Amino acid sequence: MTAENRTAEDVRSVVEAAVAKCGAGGVGATKEDLIPILTEVNKALGYLPPEAFKEVSRLLRVPVSQLFSVATFYHMLSTKPRGRHVIQFCDSAPCHVAGGRQVWVALQEALQLQPGETSADGKWTLQTTSCLGICAVGPVIVVDEDIYGNVTPKQVLEVLARYE
Amino acid sequence: MKYYRTHVLVCVDPECLAKGAHEVMDSLQDELVAQGLINEVQVLETSRIGSCHIGPEIMVYPEGVHYVGLSTDDIPYLVEEHFLKGRVAKKFLEPEVEAKDEELSAPTSKEVRVVLRNCGKIDPENIEDYIAEDGYEALAKVLTSMAPEQVINEVLASGLRGRGGAGFPAGKKWQFARAPKADQKFIICNADEGDPGAFMNRRVLEGDPHAVIEGMIIAAYAIGANHGYIYCRAEYPVAVKMLNIAIKQARAYGMLGENILGSGFSFDLEVRMGAGAFVCGEETALMASIEGKRGEPRPRPPFPAISGLWGKPTNVNNVETYANVAQIILKGAAWYASMGTEKSKGTKTFALAGDVNHTGLIEVPLGINMREVIYDVAQGIKDGKKLKAVQIGGPMGGCLPEAFLDRPIDYESLAAAGTIMGSGGLVVMDEDTCMVDIARFFMEFIQDESCGKCTPCRVGTRRMLEILQRICNGDGRDGDIETLEMLCKYIKTTSLCGLGQGAPNPVESTLKHFRHEYEAHIYEKRCPAKVCRGLIRYEIVDACTGCTVCARNCPVGAISGERRKQHVIDVNTCIRCGICMQVCNFNAIEVH
């Protein structure tokens, strides 16, 4: 589902599914389930559009301002549209010293993107991530949910070519 | 329980997964079915066995044969040779010289494995494997023969201190949380391991999740809690998966839920995932995040033991602390207290990184000195270089010079030296490291992760970073050192939480032990380690053969020269990325 062909109906059903899933424990979703719910919606839609906030706000009876405040606090929740594929590059010290800087340069060159930017065709979003804890195989990049370790600058194009 | 003659453990560490471990596992299953062996050979998933760099890897028990570098095409041959004919398929055997795990290798003589004892040895997805290694025996002992006070006293006597960083005695924390009368209390496990390069907790969660769960149930019994949370960072999807499987199995076996082991005690547990915020490792921020709010810390007191999650008494410990508990109950406080120093007992896991020959996870008894860790456990500095500093305690830790090598590693000695134990990051730096650059690097991290709630941390660390950046760029000014020192003092004393209070440590400790490097940057406009880009220049010397490799690789076209003649770097165009030096085959490029 891309931002263009998504309807208000789609957003509503995604939010309802997320709320139902996170409230499965018993009494139904409450304010405390906010982060899991927003994470689910973010995953399904790629980001958190204003309509999603309205929907969550209605279902949980939490003001939109509060939702926005929570969503903007956490790195993994995005209020801006993201590309079909999100590339996360680990910019922590262990990856940095293992040749991460060169990989980062190669990534930026291949995509012509700055960190946090999304390509004009809506295919890629380039982000940095905090340490993923797999430092023994650094440099590490993650595309969507696929992890690539021991990445060399030469492999960058090869990895990117795997995604439609 | 079904019996099998052979068990095959397939490593599903992220690295092996990336190399196709699941495909190998599937084809192994298919081939075993095809050969009619599926009822004799059981195939299981496990965490890292030790050779993921040449993975996918599998371990065959009871023979203990370790195969590596497998692909789906190799499986029919392997199944026929090993499982049908009973011959070791030599060509897939792990090469002996490379029998080294980058993350967790066999313990060296100075190591003692308590927390990491089961990692890579048992199947984390099978509670029976954990039970076979004395798992849940401590829980049974506690529930059937010990009063909550006795449990607390045992943990107190063991001397176990919080392994998350601050080192507060775990037993004391439990006592505080037991004291208040309340209709509800909570147990929280802090699994928000965010220090870059530190992944001790990830390995425990992925490789031995039940050890953490058992520790939490015992703590819950001790303080009288009926509900618990494991707050795990979202960057660790495998850990979250393993925890959820383990919790489900523990429930099925009656270790969690109503009336545990028929004792009348009830306790249940759920995993909460973070969403990417380093500050959530701070306990009050963590609780705010569980409550569905922005993960911002709040002032203490009140401490969580009095008013924690939703205002209820709450006990928060980290993964490693809980992972020690069952062993303490089983083997006794005296056993645990026999390791370590007077005030720091037991063992501590560290993630060794940097310029040493052996990196990865280690677990050593506290009180060991840094020299033993670096030269015995880590097998010395790479390429025979000289040690410059050891950074311990993560981004809020400090850098220690060589003079501290013979001091014991314990909470008190580290605090006296201006750093902290932290959660277990240990970065060894050789003579080529610039300490000002390191301080800048850590300040960048802290500035990025500051939640912004309190001014000293939000604004103060920004000012410190700006000064450090200036110094590294060669624009340091007289008075910068003094301003940094003043900021360190103020930020330390006035910040709200541990992140801000610890933020100045990297700068303060490098100023204390490596002040001359700051002075060289500021007053002599020179980076002694030749690292800071603003203070170095690259030069091509006589050894140049004019092969043009450097000119072709320079991203900004700063290198010119005729073929087979010495090339020249244009200092004004050069961005000092160092690529030319890396690609030169004749050592013809020097840094000045």
| CATH number of the structural domain spanning residue B62 | 3.40.30.10
Interchain contact B236–A (C-beta under 8 A): yes
- B176 pLDDT above the threshold of 90: yes
Q: Is the pLDDT of residue B565 over 70?
A: yes
A110 found inside a domain: yes
A90 shares its domain with A66: no
> Does B1 score more than 80 pLDDT?
no
Q: Cβ separation of A134 and B235 shorter than 8 Å?
A: no
Report strand pairing: A146-148 vs B538-540: unpaired
B98 touches chain A (CB under 8 A): no
Least confident of B45-59, B61-75, B291-305: B45-59
The answer to the question of residue A95 being in a domain is: yes
| Token pair of B355 as six digits | 């310029």
Per-residue confidence (pLDDT) for residue A4, from 0 to 100: 59
| A99 and A121 co-located in one domain | yes
For residue B350, what are its two tokens? Answer: 């560290």
Percent pLDDT > 90 in chain A is 54
Same domain for A91 and A66: no
pLDDT value for B298: 93
pLDDT in tens, B342-387: 999 999 999 988 888 888 899 999 999 999 999 999 999 988 999 9
The whole-angstrom separation of Cα B53 and Cα B565 is: 42
User: How many Å apart are CA B39 and CA B99, to the nearest integer?
Assistant: 31
Q: Is residue A17 part of a domain?
A: yes
Query: Whole-angstrom Cα distance, residue B576 to residue B537?
Result: 7
Cα of B402 vs its chain's centroid, Å: 23
Q: What count of residues does chain A have?
A: 164
Rg value, chain A, Cα = 18
Q: Does residue B221 share a domain with residue B293? A: yes
On chain B, the residues whose CB falls within 8 A of the CB of A39 are: 234, 273, 275
Of B371, B414, B416, B423, the closest CA to residue B395 belongs to B423
Find the CATH number of the domain harbouring B584.
3.30.70.20
pLDDT at B505: 94
Nearest of B33, B327, B8 to residue B155 by alpha carbon: B327
Work out the mean pLDDT of chain B and round it to a whole number. Answer: 92
- Whether residues B136 and B254 fall in one domain: yes
The average pLDDT across B233-259 equals 95
* Shared-domain flag, residues B148 and B270: yes
Q: Hey, is the C-beta of B353 within 8 angstroms of any chain A C-beta?
A: yes
Could you tell me how many CB contacts below 8 A there are between chain A and chain B?
112
Residues A48 and A96 in one domain: no
Cα–Cα dist A16/B363, whole Å = 47
Q: Within 13 Å, how many C-alpha atoms sit on residue B294's CB side?
A: 16
> Which tops the pLDDT comparison, B228 or B93?
B228
Amino acid found at B290: I
Strand A85-90 and strand B314-318: the pairing is unpaired
- 3-state class of A131 per DSSP? coil
| pLDDT confidence of residue A27 | 62
Nearest to B513 by CA among B416, B435, B432: B435
pLDDT at B335: 97
A57 and A96 in a single domain? The answer is: no
Angle at B351 between CA B124 and CA B333, to 5 degrees: 70
pLDDT-based confidence at A92, cuts 50/70/90? Answer: confident
- Taking only the tens place, the pLDDT of each residue in B483-536 is 999 999 999 999 999 899 999 999 999 999 999 999 999 999 999 998 888 899
Q: Kindly report the CATH number assigned to the domain that includes residue A153.
A: 3.40.30.10
Give the rounded percent of residues in chain B with a pLDDT score beyond 70. 99
Are residues A101 and A58 part of one domain? no
CB B441 within 8 A of CB A93: yes
Q: How many CB atoms lie within 10 A of CB B289?
A: 27
Same domain, B498 and B360: no
The enclosing domain of B326 has a CATH number of 3.40.50.11540
Residue B216 CA to residue B325 CA, distance in Å, equals 8
Instruction: Nearest chain B residue to A73 by CA: give it.
Output: B294
- Whether residues B212 and B275 share a domain: the answer is yes
B591, amino acid identity = V
ipTM attached to this prediction: 0.90
Do B226 and B307 share a domain, yes or no? Answer: yes
Q: What's the pLDDT at B578?
A: 81
Q: Is A134 within a domain?
A: yes
Say yes or no for a CB contact (<8 Å) between B277 and A131. Answer: no
In a domain, B52, yes or no: yes
Residues A152 and A102 in one domain: yes
Residue A61 lies in a domain: yes
Nearest CA to B409 out of B382, B369, B464, B457 is that of B369
Based on the fold, state whether residues A120 and A65 are members of the same structural domain.
Answer: no
Residues B422 and B565 in one domain: no
Strands B425-430 and B398-401: unpaired
CA closest to B269 among chain A residues: A25
- pLDDT range class, residue B96, cuts 50, 70, 90: low
Domain end point (choices B337, B363, B384): B337
The count of domains in chain A is 2
SS3 state at A125: strand
* CA-closest candidate to residue A89, choices A105, A72, A77, A73: A105
Q: For residue B109, is it within any domain?
A: no
Same domain, A99 and A149: yes
Mutate to test the interface with B, among A21, A34, A35, A66 (most CBs of B within 10 A): A35
Looking at residue A5, its pLDDT comes to 67
Residue A26 has pLDDT above 70, yes or no: no
pLDDT of residue B306: 95
> For residue A98, what pLDDT band results from cuts at 50, 70 and 90?
confident
Q: pTM of the entire structure?
A: 0.82
Residues A91 and A66 in one domain: no
**Cβ contacts (< 8 Å) between A32 and chain B: which residues?**
290-292
Instruction: Provide the domain count of chain B.
Output: 5
Domain membership of residue B120 (yes or no) is no
User: What is the C-alpha to C-alpha distance for residues B49 and B444, in angstroms, rounded to an integer?
Assistant: 35
Instruction: Please tell me whether residues A89 and A155 are part of one structural domain.
Output: yes
Average pLDDT over residues A104-122: 91
Structural domain for B204, as ranges: 127-337
- More confident call, B178 vs B424: B178
How close B290 comes to chain A (CA, Å)? Answer: 7
Q: Is residue A78 part of a domain?
A: no
A71, A97, A118 — which closes off a domain? A71
As a whole number of angstroms, the distance between CA A16 and CA A32 comes to 16
Q: Do A14 and A67 fall within a single domain?
A: yes
The per-residue pLDDT for B423 is: 86
Asked if A130's CB is within 8 angstroms of B196's CB, the reply is yes
Positive or negative CA dihedral for B246, B251, B253, B257? positive
- Tens-place pLDDT, residues B110-120: 899 999 999 98
Q: Which amino acid belongs to residue A26? A: G
Q: Which residues of A touch B195 (CB under 8 A)?
A: 131
Domain that includes residue A32, residue range: 8-71
The CA distance from B211 to B119, in Å, is 10
- B589-591/B186-191 β-pairing: unpaired
Those residues with Cβ within 8 angstroms of residue A100's Cβ, 6 or more apart along the chain or in another chain? A89, A90, A91, A138, A139
Q: What is the pLDDT of residue B154?
A: 97
pLDDT tens track for B477-488: 999 999 999 999
Strand order across the B268-273 sheet: B268-273, B227-232, B186-191, B314-318
Give the integer Cα–Cα distance in Å for B327 and B155. 10
Q: State yes or no: cis peptide before B62, omega within 30 of 0.
A: yes
